[in-house]
Structure formats: C-alpha cells, structure tokens
Amino acid sequence: MTSSALAELKKAGLRATRPRVLILDVLKKAAYPLSVQDVKKRLQGKVDTVTVYRTLEAFKLAGLAGHVDLQLGHSLYEFTEEKRDHHHVVCVSCNRIEDFTGCDYQPLARQALKQATGFSTIITHSLEFFGLCTQCTAK
C-alpha cells in the first residue's frame, strides 16, 4: 500500500515525503471524505496539523484529492479515484454520508456556460444532495 502511495505521489509530480505518504494512505483507506482533524486523528500525532492543511491543498492542486463541501463548517477532502465524478447524499439530521455516481453533468455545464456569459471554461463542479436517512426519518 505504502509503496503505491509513493509511486502515485511521484507520478503526480510531488516529493514523496513521509507525511505525504501517510496522508495519502489515510485518504485512500477512508470510506468517506475526511476533514483536516479526521486526518490528523488517524495519524495520531505523527504529522502536524499545519502540514495536513498544506498537504491536502497540495494534493488538490496536483489532482490527487478533491475538495468536498457538505456545509459542516469545515472542508473535507477525498482521494480522487478512477470512478471520478461521484457525489454525496448527506443526512441533514445525523450527517451520515453515502455516495452516488454517474452524474451526467455535461448538459448542465453547457447550459451554465451559455447563461454565464462572462465565463469561458468549466473546470470542475460540485453537486451534493441533502436529505433524511431512513433512521432519521423514523424518529
């Protein structure tokens, strides 16, 4: 595992330092997007908080990780897998998260560009659904 993280870092053009390998491994193992605090906790003091911030930002720029915003008061990051362009459904009551894939956003992006006349390119997009999970519905 560690060695593959190392290779991915190099392929992405980043220096393969110990903190970066550790953080990338944590991201890859996570079932759901992680906050800076989440990452730090899972590394139990092995990496400084500031480094987590800087590393996640570097991963984002390098395309290794994506930024997720679920309106929880802090940013989340997740490993960018092959099955890219997946999104989340978040329970507004308990914050449970599930994924869904196959968002066909190209028509929407074209429509957005047609209306937003001051723009020339769409680079990325965010799409999140907020609802109630079955447990919270029952309550």
Interacting partner of 106 out of a second copy, DNA, none (Cβ under 5 to 8 A depending on kind):
none
Q: What is the distance between the alpha carbons of residues 19 and 32, in angstroms, rounded to a whole number?
A: 20
103 contact choice in DNA, a second copy, none (CB below 5 to 8 Å, kind-dependent): a second copy
User: Nearest-5° angle of CA 70, CA 27, CA 5?
Assistant: 150
Which is closer to a second copy, CB of 3 or CB of 134? 134
130 is a site residue for DNA (CB under 7 A): no
- Indicate whether 62 belongs to the interface with a second copy (CB under 8 A): no
Under the criterion CB under 8 A, does residue 121 sit at the interface with a second copy?
A: yes
CA-CA distance, 74 to 69, in Å (whole number)? 8
Helix axes 18-29, 49-62, angle to 10 degrees: 70
**Interaction of residue 89 with a second copy, rule CB under 8 A:** yes
Q: Which of 30, 32, 42, 57 binds DNA (CB under 7 A)?
A: 57
By CB under 7 A, is residue 74 in contact with DNA? Answer: yes
Both tokens assigned to 3: 């060695």
Q: Where are the alpha helices (DSSP H) in 32-80?
A: 36-42, 49-62
**71: which residues sit within 8 A by CB, 6+ positions away?**
130
Residues within the interface to a second copy (CB under 8 A): 67, 69, 71, 73, 75, 87, 89, 91-92, 96, 98-104, 108-109, 111-113, 115-135, 137
